[in-house]
Structure 1
Amino acid sequence: MDMTLITDPSLIFLHQDWQSKEEVLDHLINAFASEGVVNDKAVYKQAVLDREKISETGFENGFAIPHGKSVAVTKPAVAIVTLKKPLASAAWASTDPTNQVELIFLLAIPESQKGDAYLKILSDLAVRLMDEKLVDQLKHANTADQVIQLLGKKNQEATTTIKETKKRPKQILAITACATGIAHTYMAAEALQKAAAAKGVQIHVEKQGANGIEDGITPEMLKDADGVIFATDIAAKGKERFKGIPFVQTKVAEPLKHGEAMIDQVLNHPDGVVQGEAAASEVATTGKKQSWQSTLMQSVMTGISYMIPILVAAGVMIGLSQIGASFFGLNKVIGDPKMATNANQMIVLLYYMGQCGNMAMKFMYPIFTAFMAYSIADRPAIAPGFVGGAFAAGFQFILLGNAKGIPSGFFGALFLGALVGFLVKYMNEHIHLNKNFSAMKPMLILPGVSILVVFLANFFIVDPVFGGLNAWLQQMVLTYKDSSEVLLSSIIACLTAFDLGGPVNKAAGAVAIGMAADKVFPLTPRVLSIVIPPIGIGLATLIDKYVVGRHVFDEDLRVSGKTSLLLGFLAIGEGAIPFALANPLITIPINMLGATLGSVTAVLLGAVQWYPLPAVWGWPLVQNFPAYAVGILVGVLFIALTNIFIRFHIIRKKEKTTTAVK
C-alpha cells in the first residue's frame, strides 16, 4: 500500500524533543484525534499498549512501528515523528537490543479492516524500512513534504534489477517463515531480494506468514530453479515441491545478517538436495545431512507454534469461567455437573464455558505431536502424530472408562512425536512401490504401520515407563503425607510443578486437598506451586534483555511467555508447558526448585491458605498474605533469573564454540 495515501502533513512531526515512549504516543494519538482518525483516544491508546505487550515494535537502525487495531479508529492512518535525540535502547523494546529509536511510525487500523489489508500495511512498511538509505533520508528530512515525497518514491533500483535479472541464468527460490508470521517473515524476504540483486541473481520469495502463503512459488518457477533457501523458524509448508533442488536451511533472521553469503552457499555449497517428502531433514546426494538433534529441535518448536493457539483459547475460556463464577461465589464448584442444571442461565453458561475450555486443553498434546511429526516427515506423519498425542493426553483411558489410568503427559508427547516423525520419514524414503500401487504408501502403508507402532510403543513402553513414573510420584505424596511441614511442603511443591496440570500435579492436588479438608495440612504449598512456575517463566521472557543484555528465548517462546504470565495469575499452569516441551532438562528442575523455595519460604513465614483458590481472586482469603506474597516473589524471581542465566550461559558457550571452529 502507498503510505502517502494514509498520511498527511498534519500527522508528521520532525526533530521533536519528546523524551519517552509515552510522550511520543500521546502526541501522535492527539494528532489522530485532531484529524478525526480516532474518536476515542483512551480506547485506541489501550489497543496500542496491548500490542506493545505482545512483542517488540522497535526493530533496528533506529526505527519503530507501533500500531493498534481498534473500534475507535475511523480510517487507516499513519503518524510519523523523528526525534532530535534517540531514546535509550531500554526505553523502546526492539528486536535488536541495542536499537535506539528515533524514527517512529504509528499505525491506526480500523477494527473492521480485513486481516490481509492490515498485515499488508504493516509488512509493506517494514519492508520499505529495510532500505537503510531511505531510513537515513527520513531521519534527516526537514519538512513534512519531503517525508511524503520519500515515502512515495518508486524503488527505481529494484525495478531495474528485476528487468535485468530476466536475462540472468541463475534463478533461486526461497521461503521465509517466522513463528508469529509478521515482521521477520517479510524482512527476511526483503533481505534476500536485496542480496540476490547485489549478486546478480534472480530470486522469488514465498512468504508463509500470519495471513497464509503470499507470492506462492509456481510449478514453472520450480522447473528453472538452481536452488532454494528455507529461511524458517518453523517447518515450511510444501517442501516436497522442491524435490531434486539444492537447498540451504537456516533461521529466519539469518538473511538479515548474511544474505549474500546465503546466495553464494545455495549456488555453490548447498546443505543438500531435497528428497521426496522430507520436511526438516533433507538429505543431499553428497551425503550431507541435517543432524537429527537439529531436526528434533525444529520439530519441537513447530509443534509448540501450532499448539499455542489451543493453549491460549482454552486458557481464556477456563479463566473467564472462573472469573464469572467468582461474582456468584461459585469458583470452587463451577466445575460440578450440578451447575449445568442451575436455574441461573448465566451460571449454566459459565459451567459449559469452563468445561469446553478443559476439553480444548486436552487437544494440546495431539496438536503438538501431530505437527512435531509433520515437521520431520511432512503430511503422512500428521495422522499418526495426532494419535500419539491422544495417547499422551490419556484419551485411551477416557474412552475405555479407566478412571485409574495415568497418562504419560508431555514426556510421552515428546517421545511419540519424535517416534512417529522419524519412523514415517524412514519408511517414506525406503519403501518403493510400483507406480500402479504408489497411492497405497501415503494412504495405507505409512499411516497403518506407524499408528500400529505408536499403539505398541505406547502400550509396552510409554505408558509403563512414563505413566509408571507418574504413578510412583503419586505414591510418594501418599508416603510422606505425615512428614514435617517443610518436607511435605517440598514434596507437594515439586510434584505440583513437575508436569504443570498433568497427572502428577493432579495426584499431588488430590492428596493436598484431602489433607486440607481434614484440617491436617493447609493448601499453601499446593496453590503457590500452581502459580509460581508460569509467572516465573513468563517474567523471564520480559526481563531477559535487561538482565543479560539480550534475549535468551526464541521469538515464539517470548510470545508464549506473555501468555504464561497472564495464565499464571489465573492459576492455569499449562501456560508454561511450551517451555517444558522445548527444554525439559532446563525448565522442569527449575520449576520444581522455584516452587519449592517459594512454598517453603511462605510456610516458614506463616502464610496459610486452606482453600483451593490459587488464582488472584483467592489471595484475599490467605492468612498472613505478606508472607504469601514474599513466597511468590522468591519463587518467581528464582525461576526467572535462573532460566535467564542458564540459557545465557548455554548461548555464550555455543557462540564461543562456533567462533573457535571458524
Structure 2
Amino acid sequence: MSLSSITTNKLIVLDADWESREKILDELARRLYEEGKITDKTAFLDAVWLRENLSETGFEQGIAIPHGKSLAVPAPAFAVARLKHPVDDWPTMDGEDNVDLVFLLAVPEGDDDGHLKLLSTLSLTLMQEENVYALKRAADPVSFLTLLDSPAHRADTPPLAQHARSLIVITSCPTGIAHTYMAAEALEKAGAARGIRVLSEKQGASGTEDEVTPEEIRAADGVIFAASLPPKGKGRFNGKPYLCVPVSEPLRDADGVISRFLTAPEGIVQDDTQSAPVSASKSLSGRLYQGVSSGISYMIPVIVAAGLMIGVAQLLAGAFGVTNPADARYATSDNRLLETAHGLSLYGTMIMKFMYPVFAAYMAWSIADRPGLVPGFIGGAFAGGLHYTFWSIDGGIPSGFLGALILGMAAGLIADALNRHIHLHKHLQAMKPMLIVPGLTVLLLFFLNSGFVDPVFGGLNQALQGFIIEHGRSSALLLSVIIASLTAFDLGGPVNKSAGAIAIGLAADHIFPLTPRVLAIVIPPIGIGLATLIDRFIVHRRVFDDSLRVTGTTSLILGFLAIGEGAIPFMLKNPLITITLNILGAVLGSVIAIQLGSVQWYPLPAVWGWPLVENLPAYLCGMGVGIAFIAISNVLVRYYFIKHGTLKID
C-alpha cells in the first residue's frame, strides 16, 4: 500500500507546538474533516478515544499510532503530527511516555483488511531506526511523504548466501496487530544481519498471514515462538528446535533472541497430539501465569455474551414493570415481549454456566496443549456446579472461581506430566492422547474435586451462607457490612447468591431494605472497570495488561446493568487484591449511603431502578465513594506491587 495515496500534504503537520494528547488528536481530526477524509469529527474522535482506552498506542522511539474505526470514515486515511517538544501524557510500550511523532489513522467501519494493511505498512516502515530518524528531520511534507513511500534500508545488511541458514518465526499478540508485525520485522532484520533467512508467520487479529509451507519448515533450522498466547499449529514443527519468548521481547532485543536460539534453544517441538506444549520448559509460575491469561482471554466472550442476553431481557421486562423476567410465570405469558425476555434471561444464565468450564479448559490447554483441553473443561464444570445439576443433587454449593483455578491448573499439570512421562511402543502411541492421558487425568480430577475442592471451597461457601442466616436480624450497620461483604465477595457466585436470598427475604418481610445488597452488586464491576481507564492518569503508566483493559470496559458497562460477572477475570488473575478491595469498596459505599438515609426496598440495582430509591442523592453519593475507592486503590496497590516486582503485567 502506498502511504502517500491515502493522505495529503495538508495532513502532514511538522513542528507543531501542541502540548497534550487531547490537543494533538483534536487538531489532526479537524484536519482530516477539513480535507474530506472523515464526515463527522466528533464521531471519529469518539472511536479514537475508545481505542486509546483499550491499550497503549505509543511505541518506542517516541512514536504513537492512534487509530479509530468509524462509519464517519469513507476510506482509509491518516494525518501526521511531528511535535516541537515531546508530550509526556501518551502511554508507550517502553514506559517512557514521551511522544513526538504521531500518526492518526482513520479506518472505515468494517474494513478490517484496510485497517490491518494500513497499520502493518506503517508499523514495518517505522521499525527501522534510520527511517524514524529521517522522518523526524524531513524539511517539508513532500519530503516526509517521499520517505514514507521509499523507506531507507540498512546499507550494512549482508546479502544471504545461496545456502544460508533459515529460521521460522511465529508472532502473535492477544489484542491489536502492531506488535505482531513489528516483532516479526525486528527478527527478520536481526536474522539478515547474521546472514540468516528469517521467515515470519503472523498470527494476528485477522488470522494467520504469510503461513509457512511444509517445504520451508523442513528446510528451517528451528522456530522462534514470539507470542503472548499459545501459537496455533505447533505440531507442524515436530522435531525442530525452538525458543519461546513474549511478543514484546524482539522489540527490545531481537538479536539477543536469535542469539539465545542459536546457543541455547529450549528444546525440541514434539507433535501437537502427543507432546508437551512449547511452554513446557518455562518455570512453573510462568506457565501458570500464562495459563490464567489464556483462560481469561477465552472466557471473556462467554461473560459478554451472557451479560448481553440478560441485560436485553431486563430491559424488555423493565418496560412492563417486571423486575425478574426469569420467573417461570412469564414462560407462557400472553405478552410476547415478556415471553421473549423470559427466554433471553434463561439463555443468558445458561451461557454463564459455561464461564468456568471455558476458563479452566483453556488454562489447562495453555499448560499442557491439546491433552489438557477436555480435562480442563470437565474441571471447570465441577467448579461451576454442573455436576450437582446433572446428578440431581439439591442444595449443592459449587466451588466457584477458586475451584476453577485449582482444577484448571491441576488438569493442565497432570495431563502435561502424564503426556511427557508415559512412553509407549510406536504402534500404541495413538492410545496416549485419545485414551490414557485424558482418562487418567479426569479420573484424578474426580478424586481431587470430591476429596478436596468441593468439601473445602463448597464448605467455605456454605459456612458463609450460615453466617448470613445467623446474623440476619442483627443491627442495621452490622447487617449492612455482612450483606455488602458477601455480595461483593464472588460477584454473582454462590456466596453472592446466598447473601441475596437472605437480603431479599428480609426485604420481603419489610425487616431490612436491600440498599447494601443492590449497591454491592454495582460498585465492584464499575469500580474495577473505571480503574482500567484512569490508571495512566494517576501513576502515569498502565497497571493492567491488555486483556484486562479490554475486560475493564465490559465490566464498567455491565456494572450499570447490575451484572457483576464482568469483573470476574480480575478476581481470577489477582484474587487477593481484587476480592479485598471489592469488599472494602462495597462496604464503604453501602455504609455511607445508609448513614445518609438512603433506602431501596426493590431488587433493582441496575440504572433503571434508581428512580425507586428513597433519597437518591445519598444513594449516588455512597455508590460514588465506593466506586472511587475501588478504582483508585486498585491502581495504587497494583502500582506498588509492580514497582516491587511482585506483580507483573503483559
TM-score normalised to structure 1 length: 0.90
Q: More deviation in 434-443 or 17-26?
A: 17-26
Unaligned 5+ runs, structure 2: none
Are the counterparts in 2 of residues 496 and 508 from structure 1 also a CA contact under 8 Å?
Answer: yes
Q: Could you tell me how far apart the structure 2 residues matched to 1:446 and 1:337 are? A: 43
Unaligned 5+ runs, structure 1: 283-288, 658-662
Letter paired with 1:300: V
1:518 aligns with 2:512: no
Match of 1:210 among 205, 215, 230: 205
Deviations, residues 228-284 of structure 1 (Å, cap 9, x unaligned) = 3332222222334444444333322222222222221121133444455222543xx
Are the counterparts in 2 of residues 227 and 267 from structure 1 also a CA contact under 8 Å?
Answer: no
2:644 is paired with a residue whose SS is helix
Equivalent in the alignment of 1:165 = 160
Letter paired with 1:73: V
Are the counterparts in 1 of residues 528 and 634 from structure 2 also a CA contact under 8 Å?
Answer: yes
Equivalent in the alignment of 1:325 = 317
Quote how far apart the aligned CAs of 1:409 are.
Answer: 0.9
1:55 aligns with 2:55: yes
1:502 aligns with 2:497: no
Are the counterparts in 2 of residues 532 and 594 from structure 1 also a CA contact under 8 Å?
Answer: yes
Letter paired with 1:103: L
Mapping of residues 415-564 of structure 1, within 5 Å: 415-564=406-555
Are the counterparts in 1 of residues 225 and 242 from structure 2 also a CA contact under 8 Å?
Answer: yes
Are the counterparts in 1 of residues 515 and 598 from structure 2 also a CA contact under 8 Å?
Answer: yes
Are the counterparts in 2 of residues 36 and 74 from structure 1 also a CA contact under 8 Å?
Answer: no
Are the counterparts in 1 of residues 641 and 647 from structure 2 also a CA contact under 8 Å?
Answer: no
1:298 aligns with 2:290: yes
Q: Label 1:348 to 1:539 Cα distance change in 2 as closer, same or farther (>3 A).
A: same
Q: Label 1:585 to 1:19 Cα distance change in 2 as closer, same or farther (>3 A).
A: closer
Are the counterparts in 2 of residues 181 and 208 from structure 1 also a CA contact under 8 Å?
Answer: no
1:165 is paired with a residue whose SS is coil
Quote how far apart the aligned CAs of 1:591 are.
Answer: 1.8
Q: Could you tell me how far apart the structure 2 residues matched to 1:596 and 1:82 are? A: 49
Q: More deviation in 542-551 or 488-497?
A: 542-551
Quote how far apart the aligned CAs of 1:169 are.
Answer: 4.2
1:71 aligns with 2:71: yes
Q: Could you tell me how far apart the structure 1 residues matched to 2:13 and 2:454 are? A: 64
Deviations, residues 603-651 of structure 1 (Å, cap 9, x unaligned) = 2232222121222222232223333233223323332333333323332
Q: Could you tell me how far apart the structure 1 residues matched to 2:343 and 2:319 are? A: 17
1:54 is paired with a residue whose SS is coil
Letter paired with 1:110: P
Are the counterparts in 2 of residues 58 and 94 from structure 1 also a CA contact under 8 Å?
Answer: yes
Match of 2:363 among 363, 372, 391: 372
Equivalent in the alignment of 1:359 = 350
Quote how far apart the aligned CAs of 1:184 are.
Answer: 2.0
Match of 1:387 among 364, 378, 396: 378
Q: Could you tell me how far apart the structure 2 residues matched to 1:444 and 1:310 are? A: 29
Quote how far apart the aligned CAs of 1:304 are.
Answer: 0.7
Q: Label 1:19 to 1:394 Cα distance change in 2 as closer, same or farther (>3 A).
A: same
Q: More deviation in 351-360 or 388-397?
A: 351-360
Quote how far apart the aligned CAs of 1:576 are.
Answer: 1.2
Quote how far apart the aligned CAs of 1:585 are.
Answer: 2.5
Q: Label 1:648 to 1:272 Cα distance change in 2 as closer, same or farther (>3 A).
A: farther
Quote how far apart the aligned CAs of 1:135 are.
Answer: 2.4
Quote how far apart the aligned CAs of 1:580 are.
Answer: 0.9
Q: Label 1:352 to 1:509 Cα distance change in 2 as closer, same or farther (>3 A).
A: same
Are the counterparts in 2 of residues 537 and 639 from structure 1 also a CA contact under 8 Å?
Answer: yes
Are the counterparts in 1 of residues 7 and 77 from structure 2 also a CA contact under 8 Å?
Answer: yes
1:652 aligns with 2:629: no
Deviations, residues 392-417 of structure 1 (Å, cap 9, x unaligned) = 11222223343422111111111111
1:164 is paired with a residue whose SS is coil
Quote how far apart the aligned CAs of 1:96 are.
Answer: 4.2
Q: Label 1:247 to 1:65 Cα distance change in 2 as closer, same or farther (>3 A).
A: same
Q: Could you tell me how far apart the structure 2 residues matched to 1:45 and 1:544 are? A: 21
Match of 1:574 among 565, 576, 589: 565
Equivalent in the alignment of 1:285 = none
Mapping of residues 132-143 of structure 1, within 5 Å: 132-143=129-140
1:262 is paired with a residue whose SS is helix
Mapping of residues 196-235 of structure 1, within 5 Å: 196-235=191-230
1:107 is paired with a residue whose SS is strand
Mapping of residues 4-23 of structure 1, within 5 Å: 4-23=4-23
Please provide the CA RMSD for this pair: 2.6
Match of 2:183 among 167, 179, 188: 188
Equivalent in the alignment of 2:123 = 126
Mapping of residues 218-297 of structure 1, within 5 Å: 218-275=213-270, 277-282=275-280, 289-297=281-289
Match of 1:584 among 555, 575, 582: 575
1:46 aligns with 2:55: no
Q: Label 1:462 to 1:533 Cα distance change in 2 as closer, same or farther (>3 A).
A: same
Match of 2:300 among 308, 319, 341: 308
Deviations, residues 38-75 of structure 1 (Å, cap 9, x unaligned) = 33444333333332332232333333222222233222
Q: Could you tell me how far apart the structure 2 residues matched to 1:344 and 1:118 are? A: 45
Q: More deviation in 423-432 or 136-145?
A: 136-145
Q: Label 1:656 to 1:298 Cα distance change in 2 as closer, same or farther (>3 A).
A: closer
Identity in percent = 53
Q: Label 1:54 to 1:354 Cα distance change in 2 as closer, same or farther (>3 A).
A: farther
Q: Label 1:112 to 1:229 Cα distance change in 2 as closer, same or farther (>3 A).
A: closer
Q: Label 1:586 to 1:278 Cα distance change in 2 as closer, same or farther (>3 A).
A: same
Letter paired with 2:116: L
Letter paired with 2:74: T
Q: Could you tell me how far apart the structure 1 residues matched to 2:66 and 2:320 are? A: 39
1:620 is paired with a residue whose SS is helix
Q: Could you tell me how far apart the structure 1 residues matched to 2:642 and 2:57 are? A: 24
Match of 2:391 among 400, 413, 420: 400
Are the counterparts in 2 of residues 182 and 209 from structure 1 also a CA contact under 8 Å?
Answer: yes
Q: Could you tell me how far apart the structure 2 residues matched to 1:231 and 1:632 are? A: 43
Letter paired with 1:145: V
Deviations, residues 506-536 of structure 1 (Å, cap 9, x unaligned) = 1110111110111111111111111122122
1:341 is paired with a residue whose SS is coil
Q: Could you tell me how far apart the structure 2 residues matched to 1:499 and 1:562 are? A: 19
Q: Could you tell me how far apart the structure 1 residues matched to 2:381 and 2:96 are? A: 44
Letter paired with 2:78: V
Q: More deviation in 543-552 or 437-446?
A: 543-552
Mapping of residues 148-163 of structure 1, within 5 Å: 148-154=145-151, 156-157=153-154, 161=157
Match of 1:102 among 100, 103, 121: 100
Q: More deviation in 552-561 or 336-345?
A: 336-345
Quote how far apart the aligned CAs of 1:173 are.
Answer: 2.7
Are the counterparts in 1 of residues 160 and 195 from structure 2 also a CA contact under 8 Å?
Answer: yes
Deviations, residues 16-47 of structure 1 (Å, cap 9, x unaligned) = 34444444444444444444433344433333
Q: Could you tell me how far apart the structure 1 residues matched to 2:278 and 2:592 are? A: 46
Q: Could you tell me how far apart the structure 1 residues matched to 2:366 and 2:43 are? A: 41
Q: Could you tell me how far apart the structure 1 residues matched to 2:48 and 2:176 are? A: 19
Are the counterparts in 1 of residues 364 and 372 from structure 2 also a CA contact under 8 Å?
Answer: yes
Quote how far apart the aligned CAs of 1:152 are.
Answer: 0.9
1:413 aligns with 2:404: yes
Q: Could you tell me how far apart the structure 2 residues matched to 1:325 and 1:18 are? A: 50
Q: Label 1:546 to 1:47 Cα distance change in 2 as closer, same or farther (>3 A).
A: closer
Are the counterparts in 1 of residues 638 and 647 from structure 2 also a CA contact under 8 Å?
Answer: no
2:60 is paired with a residue whose SS is coil
1:602 aligns with 2:600: no
